[in-house]
Structure 1
Amino acid sequence: MWGFGSRGDWDDEEMQELMKPDYEGLQAENWPFRSVAEPDDDYLPPGDACQSVSAVLGSVNGVAGAFSFESISDSPPTLPGLAVKGVGSVPVPLTKTHAERLLPHCTKAKGTEKVWELPGDQVEMKNPRWQSGINWLGVTIGDRLGFKYEVLEVVLSKLVVYEAGSRLDKQQDTDENDHVMAKLVVQLPSMHAGGDLVVYEGTSGKEFRYDFGKKDGTAAFAPHCAVYVADAQYAVEEVMSGYCLMAVYSLVLSPDEPTLGAKRADDLLQKKLCVAMADVATENKAIAFLLSDKYNSRSMENFGAAALTGLDRVHFQALTDANALLPPEKQLRLYIVQLEHNTELTRDLSDNPRGRGGYFGRPYSPPSPPTWRNTGNYFSADWYSTSGALLRRFDHKDWSTTFHLLNFGLGGSLRELWSNNFSIEDDIDEMTYQYDAFAIVGWPLAHDVENTTRCIGEDVALASILEEKLIDVAKLMAFMKIATGDDGYDEESVWDDKPSYLEFCQKLCEAVVAAGDVALVGLFFMKFVDLLTEKEELAPSIATLVQAFGWSRTSTFILSTINGLDQESGLGLALALASAFEDDDARTAVTMLAVEKAKAMRPDVLTALADFGLLWEPAVACRDPKAYSEVEQLLKGIDASLLSPVVETLSKHVTATSSPEIRAAFASLVSTRRRWLEAQLALLDKPFTWEMPDAVFPADAQVEAFLRGPHADFIVRNFVSLGAARSFVAEHSSAKQTNASFTLSANGRGSNSVVTVSKTLALSEQHSKEVASYKAELGRLANCVSSGKHGTDSIDRKAEVKRVKTE
Structure 2
Amino acid sequence: MSDDEREELFNQDPDLKEDFGGKEWPFSGKGGLDEIPVPTGAACTKISNVLGRASEHSGDFSFGGQADQLPAVPGIFVDGVGPVPVPLWEERAQRLIEKCQKSPFGHNMDTKMDENVRKSWELQPDHVQFKNPLWKAGIDKMALTIADRLGYKDIPLQCVLYKLLVYGEGGHFLKHQDTEKEDGMIATLVVQPPSLHEGGDLVVYRHGEVKHRHDFGKTDGTATYLPHYAVHYADAEHAVEKVTKGYRLVLVYSVCLPANMRHLERNPNRPLSGELAEAIETMTPGDDNFALFLVHEYTKKSIAGYGSSALKGVDRARDLFSRVAYKGHVASDIAKLVRKFTWAEVGEALLGALDKIDTSHAVDTPLAVARAVDQREPQQALLALAVKHAVGLEDDTFDLSVPLEELWSHVLSHSNDSIIYTLSRKFQQKSPRLLNRAIKIFLRYLEGDDISDDKKALFVVIISGRIEWLKKQIRVLEKPFSWAMPVAEFPESDQIEMFLRGPEAMLNTTGIVSFKDVRAASSFAAKYIGFIERERQINASFDMEASGSKSDAFVKITKTRVWYDKNQENLPLFKRELDDLMNATVETFVKILSKRTWARQK
TM-score after normalising by structure 2: 0.38
Higher relative contact order (CA 8 A, sep 6+): 2
Which of 1 and 2 has greater Rg?
1
